[in-house]
Chain A
């Protein structure tokens, strides 16, 4: 179990509060992008390709804290760009801690060791270190040699000083399941609190059949990684999301679950798509055509997307939305996620027929992990 009980309690009470109030759409994690500038240029990262004068712009600490207040989500993720390059990152973190927000500061950790003095260890602050695999895979993914070693140095230094540290890993087509399992072992040996894994997002206008095959490929990859998963692995994410990645259950996207705020405003509709900006969080929630997004909508840009920022909020909502969801989470937490065996002739579970927000898969089709 990666997430501390106090954090789970905060999230649980927050979600239940909205359930009781019958809030139709509520945010779970604010994706706060205080800048786009980065000290890496990772392949496929769509966040940093802007003209130089845009890359030099930052949100002020006051703007960041106002956004957190306006949104109200209990968790604030600070991606970017590289947040440790922000001149007011200390003030941003201190302000969020004062508001009792659980912060995931997403960093490539190149500067982590040298910037640790800016922060104080607290249960509210977690360094979420971008690690896309073991040394070879990670350095290739970030397009620079030596970054894996720098990041592991940063992780060790942060752990020694008593900070919470997790890793976040994006897996694309072609990821090696065995190497990924070795990577999980390595991160656990390093002593991180937990790991987060998500498939990469690639915008696609491919016809439905191709999309379906892509999705099946994702299921196979995650089945190979998580089937007979080790009890020593700890994940800082919902076990139901891992079941979803492996095709054991289906979740529709909750695009308003992780709203994104950056120098342009509140991004419509989600962290990945950029279809304009709202002036306020309320404007985003009230005036976005939400039914146009998610797989069921038929939107081509959403067909292959299984990314955590849209689907993990669904998993969390499912946990607290029904006794069945709660029990499934308890079961998956205690016994590990149910992951189907990754046989080549696997009887795939068709997600085409699934209608609801979440759906249980008959046990006979699922091998216990």
Chain B
């Protein structure tokens, strides 16, 4: 199974090779807050944001089209994680860590006389 944390920009997932973990892998791709590129079996590519999956279909907003598209998974050869994760480093925990270290730095700074 591919965990969300393992989805890094540049990695490619071959759907045929995943087997029983397909559902969980697709769920991780839906969770990923960046664009992906679908490499289709007819040789074409489709880049966009995947927001929904079912056992048979994948739904995405293509980068260049106003309307969403639904594709049969049978049409998809592999999925390339092509865009950066827009949520990376932006969690509340990340923010708390940053603020905490800032406060510590202020406390540690010498008081100007």
A174 CB within 8 Å of chain B: yes
In the complex the two chains form, is B31's CB within 8 Å of A274's CB?
A: yes
CB <8 Å contact, A264 and B52? yes
Q: Which of B11-19, B38-46, B71-79, B90-98 contacts A (4 or more CB under 8 A)?
A: B90-98
Q: Which secondary structure characterizes the binding site on chain A?
A: loop
Question: In angstroms, how far is the closest chain A Cβ from the Cβ of B98?
Answer: 8
The total of chain A residues at the interface (CB under 8 A) is 24
- For chains A and B in complex, what number of residue pairs have CB atoms within 8 angstroms? 61
Bound complex: CA A80 to CA B15 (Å): 34
Q: Report yes or no: A172 in contact with B92, Cβ–Cβ below 8 A.
A: yes
For the complex, give the distance between the alpha carbons of A174 and B49 in Å: 35
Question: Chain B nearest CB: distance from A130 CB in Å?
Answer: 15
CB-CB < 8 A to A54: which residues of B?
49, 61
A260-288 vs B, Cβ < 8 Å mask (1 yes, 0 no) = 00011100000000111100000000000
Interface set, chain A 24-68, CB cutoff 8 A to B: 41, 43-44, 46, 49-51, 53-54, 57
Please name all residues of chain B whose beta carbon is closer than 8 Å to the beta carbon of A44 when the two chains form the complex. Answer: 90-93, 95
| Contact status A51-B49, CB under 8 Å | yes
Chain B, residues 52-93, CB within 8 Å of chain A (1/0): the string is 111000010101101010000000000000010011001111
Which residues of A are found within 8 Å of B34, using beta-carbon distances? 51
Evaluate contact between A276 and B95: CB separation under 8 angstroms: no
Whether, in the assembled complex, A202 has its beta carbon less than 8 Å from a beta carbon of chain B, the answer is yes
Pick the residue among B27, B33, B66 that contacts A275 (CB under 8 A): B27
Contact B95 A277 (CB under 8 A): no
Partner of A51, one of B35, B64, B90, B99: B35
Q: Looking across the interface, which residue of chain B has its beta carbon closest to that of A44?
A: B92
Using Cβ atoms and an 8 Å threshold, which residues of chain B touch A153? none
Q: How far is the CA of A44 from the CA of B98 in the complex (A)?
A: 12
Q: How far is the CA of A209 from the CA of B49 in the complex (A)?
A: 37
CB distance from A87 to the nearest CB of B (A): 14
Q: How far is the CB of B1 from chain A (nearest CB, A)?
A: 15
9 further A-B contacts with Cβ under 8 Å, apart from A44-B91, A46-B91, are: A41-B90, A49-B90, A53-B64, A57-B66, A143-B95, A202-B93, A274-B30, A276-B52, A277-B51
User: Which A positions have Cβ atoms within 8 angstroms of B?
Assistant: 41, 43-44, 46, 49-51, 53-54, 57, 140, 143, 172-174, 200, 202, 263-265, 274-277
Q: Can you report 23 A-B residue pairs in the complex whose CB atoms are below 8 A from each other?
A: A43-B90, A43-B94, A44-B91, A44-B93, A44-B95, A49-B86, A49-B90, A51-B34, A51-B63, A53-B48, A53-B49, A57-B61, A143-B95, A172-B96, A173-B96, A174-B96, A200-B92, A263-B61, A264-B52, A275-B27, A276-B53, A277-B52, A277-B59
Q: Which B residues have a C-beta under 8 Å from some C-beta of A?
A: 27, 30-31, 33-35, 48-49, 51-54, 59, 61, 63-64, 66, 68, 83, 86-87, 90-96, 99
